[in-house]
Structure 1
């Protein structure tokens, strides 16, 4: 672990760059660049300071930016072919780039001693928090970033290289519409795996506002865009613009539930065979635009599926006022196609030789008709994942997802076929630090937050230090020995391989055999029983027949009564051995038992009695005070009726207008209409948590949970239970008001008490003021303003 004190106070880490040969990790931060030796974290890191002159900072703040933003945030670190590192920073909203010499670990300087800089516009974002991605291909930098100070212009461009070859996207919402760039990847073609002589390609992943969906709100969609490395633009049409820019929609959808995850947050590129580009897969991290709660999903897309969609039909976006027009015929050669041996043989050695009809069609049809679809491997509710990295198990038996959360945790999930199993939840950093970088290197995972760095093991069965966790990784080739988890060459047996492995453990609690947890509850309490499920398939509960329950996704809300006591079991559906028929797997089990009387209950009862006595005392005092005020107002009204007439109103209106209450006064209760009854409504939420200090390792029996009441707690953290960093505990929440619903409680009222509607005037007071109210209405009716009908708005035709 490297905290702020070990990193010399440097913070705001945004980008990581690892030198795989030396193990040196370069970190871009605020006004600084760090070099950390990952092989020896005890060695103090090297630091280069690259800050902004004071006059630049003043100019930035004069343009309306905050003092914190007017610094130099390093957002780009990329290796050049000559061994140097290309470094770019925001530089107080005026992006600048420099060259870092690795041997001396210093920025190149001019003869006068100043840092040698060049403009970073189009290479680095202006704002520190703007979405941005970049990739180096053959010593040339390709970026997806904003290109103006206001952050309203977006480009995917070739940012370096010869000036005549620096091209970018067309400034059209058909090409990019308010995108949030996420990731980029360069896929090179080897000669042996490329018999057609196809060009190398670059892929950009982002989320943008869909122009093809015209709904009442802006619909976000995830996209993948592809450009070709040798593209240099068109001769007349699309000059200095991409002639091969194509994009397609990514669909991460669970078809049984029709749940679609439409916001892309991170992408990890994995090539299982470095010599074969066709083995490339992209693991995408998604969330939903339409969900109010925390939600994360992981979908995987293959490179072959993406290229198949790019070679399919184009989507026609041109419309007339009423109907879609007929699609244009696709010209030859195919628009957006990368150069290959066949095209070069026909005389198209460069994109500059493409005919105008091809380029015009390409300019108007950047979007593909078909989508790249995938079913989610993993779905988690109540958790926000920020980064994803993937390692493959030996012999391709499965994969392990390393997922960073916004609460400083690292989760590991095993994926074998269509089955996903949560292996570990490791708290690495404080809950207020969000993980923003995960770099894999030689079996290690370098996990970073904006202020800290951690190194943890990422590969091998030795990660799993308990028999239960090792059994859950059985599909990856792990098997529990006498004292440790090791790799085995034996193939898993038929059926549920995890369940068979769990039978060898001392503990009876496993993935599909949870221990029954006894909960001591009281009548009338409302509980939220959790059921953690990482598979997108549904979960169901078995419970006593006479009950009051409501299912919240995989969790269950229970109102405790005499009839609802008993056993509750959550059973989730998972993929079976043949990956076709789902199998049932119990995930959680609870036994509700009424809590007996205790000293705490007696103290609570005494406190309730004292509160009730205080309430009765205050109520009596209020009744007495109200009677006194009614008597006072009645005497005052009687005196007012005998006062001389000095007003211009009628006799009935004179009594009211002569009093201290005016129509404009908010204290005049007589002006309240019966149609505006003031009713008091309770609508709050009081959350309670029953803490569990049990993890997922070690022996388990039946456990009792103490009902420690913690007011207004909505996020409860669990302690690792097995001492190995695992955190697989369960939070049981009870709520008087769940989901913001209103619960009305009946309270007894003494005879002659106040009425249900608090704005009704007491009968005694109503008799004294009724005539005055009617007189005021008659007086107001004489004014023309109250006689004219309300003006009507002009009728406008809807444009929908």
Structure 2
């Protein structure tokens, strides 16, 4: 109870310190946070819509629509309740759905351009849409006072958790969603507009194969940037089951699909279906390591040159189907590369040989091509005039032969990123780098600077509780609006003032930040940083002994038998390796290293990762972490390094000594009593003592239950803890704040070890609670090795030998006589004690497995 109280007190202190640190961070930057106490009963926010001109943010939640003024978060949010009638909710539950799902979850918020917002919700598995008047902030009503609604099928998913995306293009809604109650039919469709122009994808696995829709984007070209008169396009990003791979297991692949805005379907073939639907595979692969990330989770669309649609890039957030642990990667694809692949060769499945090959010939005009000035001059003013052979070809060949490939900008293992936003930094009209704003599944926001081939972690900010994943990130006027299902945070997103220490500012040198020693602040420097590793040079100015690839050696004082997990933060997608003393007591977990401390494992450990060098693409080695293991006390030898281990050993010794003393006393008492009996010529009752001895001591004919194992023989399983998630329950945990910098050594002989060091970049990597806005919160552990009591085997061998000797029939006569006489006396003396008056129960027989 005392231990539980102490743990609860420490947890409260950690939460209090974390809250104060976050409040201080937000307050210092003029930012704020709205939590459940502000939104009252409103929850399950999943949809964000921002009015850039007014700064008004609209949130779609469960049965509610909120309007929050991001310029004045202290103002009370406006709220509209749009719930489901009781009879409809009961009907939904009667169909097998849960009470929680049979509500109205707002999944679509889009501006219509006429002072209204188009709002769609799941409405108890019967999607409905309504119109929200911005001026009065009320839903349009019908004559009887009810909400004016229209069907939302094909515009909004049926189920709250279904993957879904939508985009508004010229006042027309384009969606990618399920279109039936069971969630088995999937459509990419033009969901609004004239009825005859509402078209969708073909119901074929060649078009869509169990997709999970992620994002969509409308690319609109201006007249000045479109000399060929090419049609505007809508792009959809999703993950689906691949049909082009003949494998024994289902393979997921990320896709990008494109449709054209003026497509109205075919005349006979592909009626009310897309005639321009084409899709291609996205490949996010690190070629040096061969690792491919095949599940797309989020996409952020960004124009590298504002006002130029041709400069659009899509930043994709990926994970892997094949990785046993959580992993996240970021790849960027340009619109030019996607267009090149969609204009390339088609992929075809020829059923005679079941192999994918390039089809020949491709009809004219090219299938899937958007209308342009040249096609219109040839008489194809509309998709309705396309020949049937062109429509038949595009119906059977929606997939392209080539893939859109990119190398990862960033790979983080052990972390699940959920949302992504990107800001660019420029100097003198030239792009300098990018800052990735990454939301985690545990309520954190990470910032990573990407300059050339190098990715550098800048900050890790805890915003929400670990049970609130980040599900929305919007960038507006230099700030980031970060949302979870229950909360909303507004934080500063741009500017060197974000980085409050010299080390963190040095890591942002690539994006133009310089530390001012006179003012003690991080400031923007428009000057070109020049050639070389600018981050390394900047770090040297903070600490002459420190550098990005030259970490200080961290001395760790440990005890024999400990099991350590030495952390090494890996930002690049390329592998890391460890240099350490030659022994077999190590095991690498991703980039971290597990070490069992022995005499041979003491010494220096260095983690080296392959990273991109300055202005080159070839990976170069970079030291990320360095440790030196030394014994806390050389005389400690095999000291027990578990919490309570010494106490357990002391208890064993006390019991042993007490039993020994008791046995000596008992033997002395029995000997004295026996000599007294002999002097009085009193002989014991042989028959009676024989029966008692048989019941009490047992014999070789009575099966004995196996002796219980030593308490210390139970091994402690290794447990890794990542971002608050544990994989085992019976462990002895030692937390460590990893650091590569700082001269102070740490003692690891106790049960819990805390060391607040830096990793050479100003980040506190491992800790019980994170109180720094720029501190890394990667939770790792130092665990105790399995401890086996050698005396258990010796005791088992001794007991087996005694049982074998007890089962022999031939015993030396002289020894036998003395033994029998002594046993009879001992039995009679024991029988005189009250505790031995009743016969001792026999051990239960064990059934044989033969």
What TM bracket, shorter-length normalisation? 0.7 to 0.9
Task: Report the CA distance shift for 1:689/1:531 in structure 2 as closer, same or farther (over 3 A).
Answer: farther
Alignment partner, residue 252 of structure 1: 284
Alignment partner, residue 605 of structure 2: 568
TM norm structure 1: 0.83
Contact 2:255-2:280 within 8 A present in 1 as well: yes
User: Alignment partner for residue 750 of structure 1, among 768, 780, 795?
Assistant: 795
Deviation of 1:519 after TM superposition, in Å, equals 1.7
Task: Report the CA distance shift for 1:18/1:605 in structure 2 as closer, same or farther (over 3 A).
Answer: same
Contact 1:61-1:70 within 8 A present in 2 as well: yes
Deviation of 1:728 after TM superposition, in Å, equals 2.2
Whole-Å separation in 2 of the counterparts to 1:123 and 1:323? 37
- Structure 2: unaligned runs, 5 residues or longer: 1-32, 660-692, 707-712, 719-729, 754-764, 809-846
**How far does the alpha carbon of each residue in 1:209-245 deviate from its partner, in whole angstroms, 9 at most, with x for none?**
0011121111100000000000000000000000000
Contact 2:501-2:521 within 8 A present in 1 as well: yes
Task: Report the CA distance shift for 1:754/1:507 in structure 2 as closer, same or farther (over 3 A).
Answer: farther
The within-5 A match list for 1:344-359 is 344-359=376-391
The within-5 A match list for 1:714-753 is 718=767, 724-728=772-776, 731=779, 733-736=781-784, 747-750=792-795
User: Alignment partner for residue 432 of structure 1, among 456, 460, 467?
Assistant: 467
Deviation of 1:490 after TM superposition, in Å, equals 1.4
Task: Report the CA distance shift for 1:109/1:601 in structure 2 as closer, same or farther (over 3 A).
Answer: closer
Matched, 1:362 2:397: no
Contact 2:115-2:135 within 8 A present in 1 as well: no
Alignment partner, residue 370 of structure 2: 338
Task: Using CA pairs under 8 Å that are at least 6 residues apart, name the structure with larger relative contact order, 1 or 2.
Answer: 2
Q: Could you say what secondary structure the match of 1:397 adopts?
A: strand
Whole-Å separation in 1 of the counterparts to 2:309 and 2:749? 56
Alignment partner, residue 651 of structure 2: 610
Deviation of 1:161 after TM superposition, in Å, equals 0.3
Matched, 1:466 2:501: yes
Alignment partner, residue 295 of structure 1: 327
Deviation of 1:752 after TM superposition, in Å, equals 5.3
| Greater alpha carbon shift after TM alignment, 5-14 vs 747-756 | 747-756
Q: Could you say what secondary structure the match of 2:380 adopts?
A: coil
Contact 1:245-1:366 within 8 A present in 2 as well: yes
Whole-Å separation in 2 of the counterparts to 1:575 and 1:473? 17
Whole-Å separation in 2 of the counterparts to 1:371 and 1:458? 34
Task: Report the CA distance shift for 1:486/1:633 in structure 2 as closer, same or farther (over 3 A).
Answer: closer
Whole-Å separation in 1 of the counterparts to 2:596 and 2:739? 27
Matched, 1:327 2:359: yes
The within-5 A match list for 1:631-670 is 631=701
Contact 1:693-1:729 within 8 A present in 2 as well: no
Contact 1:690-1:705 within 8 A present in 2 as well: no
User: What is the root-mean-square deviation in Å for CA atoms of aligned residues?
Assistant: 3.5
Task: Report the CA distance shift for 1:564/1:170 in structure 2 as closer, same or farther (over 3 A).
Answer: same
Q: Could you say what secondary structure the match of 2:336 adopts?
A: helix
Alignment partner, residue 691 of structure 1: 735
**How far does the alpha carbon of each residue in 1:314-360 deviate from its partner, in whole angstroms, 9 at most, with x for none?**
00123226666883421000000000000000000000000000000
Whole-Å separation in 2 of the counterparts to 1:465 and 1:695? 19
Whole-Å separation in 1 of the counterparts to 2:550 and 2:694? 64
Matched, 1:493 2:530: yes
User: Alignment partner for residue 628 of structure 1, among 682, 685, 698?
Assistant: 698
Deviation of 1:566 after TM superposition, in Å, equals 1.5
**How far does the alpha carbon of each residue in 1:240-294 deviate from its partner, in whole angstroms, 9 at most, with x for none?**
0000000000000111111000000000001122322111000000000111111
Please identify which structure carries the higher helix content: 2
Deviation of 1:460 after TM superposition, in Å, equals 1.2
Alignment partner, residue 526 of structure 1: 563
Task: Report the CA distance shift for 1:751/1:332 in structure 2 as closer, same or farther (over 3 A).
Answer: closer
Whole-Å separation in 2 of the counterparts to 1:692 and 1:735? 10
Paired residue total: 712
Contact 1:169-1:242 within 8 A present in 2 as well: yes
Whole-Å separation in 2 of the counterparts to 1:392 and 1:119? 41
Whole-Å separation in 2 of the counterparts to 1:315 and 1:307? 16
- Structure 1: unaligned runs, 5 residues or longer: 635-666, 670-679, 765-772, 778-800
Deviation of 1:726 after TM superposition, in Å, equals 1.1
Contact 2:565-2:593 within 8 A present in 1 as well: yes
Task: Report the CA distance shift for 1:549/1:74 in structure 2 as closer, same or farther (over 3 A).
Answer: same
TM norm structure 2: 0.78
Alignment partner, residue 148 of structure 1: 180
Tell me which structure has the larger Cα radius of gyration: 2
Contact 1:188-1:277 within 8 A present in 2 as well: yes
Q: Could you say what secondary structure the match of 2:350 adopts?
A: coil
Deviation of 1:431 after TM superposition, in Å, equals 1.1
User: Alignment partner for residue 121 of structure 1, among 153, 160, 171?
Assistant: 153
Alignment partner, residue 41 of structure 2: 9
**How far does the alpha carbon of each residue in 1:559-587 deviate from its partner, in whole angstroms, 9 at most, with x for none?**
21112212212122221223134333221
Task: Report the CA distance shift for 1:326/1:497 in structure 2 as closer, same or farther (over 3 A).
Answer: closer
Whole-Å separation in 1 of the counterparts to 2:293 and 2:281? 12
Task: Report the CA distance shift for 1:350/1:538 in structure 2 as closer, same or farther (over 3 A).
Answer: same
Q: Could you say what secondary structure the match of 1:394 adopts?
A: strand
Alignment partner, residue 641 of structure 1: none
Matched, 1:78 2:110: yes
